[in-house]
Amino acid sequence: MDFNLTEEQKQYLDTVRRFVGREITPCIMALENSHVFPFDIIRKAWDLGIINLSIPEAVKGYSLDLISTALIIREISYGDSGIATSAMCNDLANAVIALHGSEAQQQAFLGPFVERPLLASFCLTEPGAGSDNSAMTTIIRKGSGGKYLLNGSKCFITNASFASQFTVFCKVGKPSSPFLACVVVPALAVEPDTAETAAQTCREIPLPCGGRIVTGKPEDKLGQHLSNTASVSFEDVVIEDDQIIGDRRLGFQYLTDVLDYARPMVAAIGVGLARRALDVTLAYTRERRQFGQRICDMPVARETLIEMWKRIEQAEMALMKAAFLVQQGAPDRGVYASLAKNLAAEAAIFCTTQGLHLHGGYGFMSEYEISKLIRDAQIIDIYEGVREVQNMIIGRELV
């Protein structure tokens, strides 16, 4: 594995860093306090071509390797991990179509994201099925007309209030079925210019083919306020055969593939957030003086800063290895994807916690960015599989 970036990768990173420095970091606390979904920033990111990174060349006209994708997500997260999560979840929803959809499905379901700045939702988690996907109760079953009907509810769904398409994992036939399917449900297009970004209400979406989708009120979360999260219910949604991705009995395999793709992306979010926490803490400790010297010059504080840096570097190395192995389709890619996800989450939580500590009482004030970062970091240890699930995956492979 070569750690040298190509000229193209350097250009991408330069573009993203300038975008983040212009559109996100200067106004991040005002955005955080506005309680308005930053759809306009998503649109500008779409204009630059730095979202929808998983769409294949056959549809998009160009393609990105997984390492470049991870680096772009890392840089967006440096600005805000909530915005990075909304952008990454577009790829989470679309990656399974890119990996296992037919050519016609890729054109039909991914093409609109190339043409317009739309959002997608990846619908997996349910109120009674978090880490245990086998416990889900959302199902497709044949209706009286011979077509499938989708029914069930999902929770904690990113982009749900503004999604123009839903990628849904569900049981086949009955909740006790051993088979899992992946279906795609297009909905009415929601674009930045028409979206009610400050709305805190439910959304009802009638579907021309039959049935409806209902999204709940946006969740009031501890952190990542700039990422939309809501519940989604599917009520007698008619599913045509061409909306079923691949084999309707192989959804568990498709889910494993997409999570192997997603976990390095979550790791990238964690690394970006952790690096931001280190940078704002360095800036504060260079400015703040106590006992006649800068805080960063005190040995005990400097040891903390060193440990923060080490955690970030270790997490970033794990991220790069995981992205490389997933890109190569290596047999042990899942283990390293889980390792990267855990190390990045630990780095994000450690760096924000220690960063707040070095800020002292000021860090506890909401006007300081470190107080936002420590709240944002908590979810990285949870979404796309909690720490214990990642350790189960690693432990299973070890023994």
Structure confidence at residue 238 (pLDDT)? 96
Mean pLDDT, residues 345-351: 98
- Mean pLDDT, residues 92-103 taken together: 96
- Alpha carbons 344 and 272: distance in angstroms, whole number: 9
* pLDDT, position 134: 87
**What's the CATH code of the domain at 231?**
2.40.110.10
Indicate if 47 and 166 belong to the same structural domain: no
13: closest CA among 59, 67, 83? Answer: 67
The boundaries of the domain holding residue 16 are 7-115
**pLDDT of 177 higher than 90:** yes
Q: Tens digit of pLDDT for each residue in 253-311? A: 999 999 999 999 999 999 999 999 999 999 999 999 999 999 999 999 999 999 999 99
Which tokens hold the place of 175? 């909740």
Q: Could you tell me if 108 and 142 lie in one domain?
A: no
Q: What is the mean pLDDT of the chain?
A: 95
Q: Are residues 88 and 145 in the same domain?
A: no
Q: Is the pLDDT of residue 392 over 80?
A: yes
Confidence at residue 173, expressed as pLDDT on a 0 to 100 scale: 94
Cβ contacts of 306-312, under 8 Å, gap ≥ 24:
307/350, 307/354, 308/274, 308/277, 308/278, 308/281, 308/350, 308/351, 308/354, 308/355, 309/278, 311/274, 311/343, 311/346, 311/347, 311/350, 311/351, 312/271, 312/274, 312/275, 312/278, 312/347, 312/351
Judge whether 1 lies within some domain: no
Choose from 57-71, 140-154, 188-202, 343-357 the range with maximum mean pLDDT.
343-357
Residues 182 and 59 in one domain: no
Give the pLDDT of residue 211.
Answer: 96
pLDDT band at 1 (very low <50, low <70, confident <90, very high): low
Least confident residue range of 129-133, 238-242, 310-314, 327-331: 129-133
pLDDT at 200: 87
262 with 387, same domain: the answer is: yes
At 296, which CATH number?
1.20.140.10
Annotated active-site residue in 23, 103, 384, 388: 384
Range with the poorest average pLDDT among 33-37, 130-134, 337-341: 130-134
Return contacts of 282-285, CB within 8 angstroms, 24+ apart.
284/358, 284/359, 284/362, 284/368, 284/370, 285/358
61 domain-assigned: yes
Does the annotation mark 235 as catalytic? no
